[in-house]
Amino acid sequence: MTDTILPDGIIVQSGVWVDSWWGQYAPARALQLAHAFGAAVDPDALDAAERHIATMGPSDAPEVSPEDHDIIIEALDRAEGWLNTLTTDGVWFGWSDGNWGAWVHDEEGYPL
């Protein structure tokens, strides 16, 4: 992992933040982390993410709807866009090989 200092002095550790182990729950977890990092997230999307994660493992929690999944994905797309406005050139938030995180790339776009 590589530390990147954002313009406001926040240090971001690049690499995997949500690994593929999370499976179908990964977007919900990534949304929670983006929100914790400061991204403005619609309360309905946060609620859907929390309800979805509550269904992990043995649980009596009701499954979320396909519409809730869409809300989570759309909110994560917006949150990633906001996070990427904070990064320096060569660092971006998003998905890579089934993992979500902050990724460092060289000038030609290859991962470091």
pLDDT above 90 (res 12): no
How confident is the model over 85-99, as pLDDT tens digits? 887 777 889 998 899
How confident is the model over 25-61, as pLDDT tens digits? 999 999 999 998 889 999 999 999 999 999 998 889 9
Structural tokens at position 51: 């309800």
pLDDT above 90 (res 72): yes
Structural tokens at position 73: 């994905």
The residue ranges of every structural domain in the chain are: 3-104
Across the strands, what pairs with 96?
Answer: 99
pLDDT above 70 (res 111): no
DSSP state of 15: E
Contacts of 35 (CB under 8 A, 6+ apart): 41, 46, 79
**CB neighbours (10 Å) of residue 41?**
20
Q: Taking a C-beta distance cutoff of 8 angstroms, is the pair 34, 79 a contact?
A: yes
What gap in Å lies between CA 13 and CA 98, rounded to an integer?
Answer: 18
Q: Taking a C-beta distance cutoff of 8 angstroms, is the pair 9, 35 a contact?
A: no
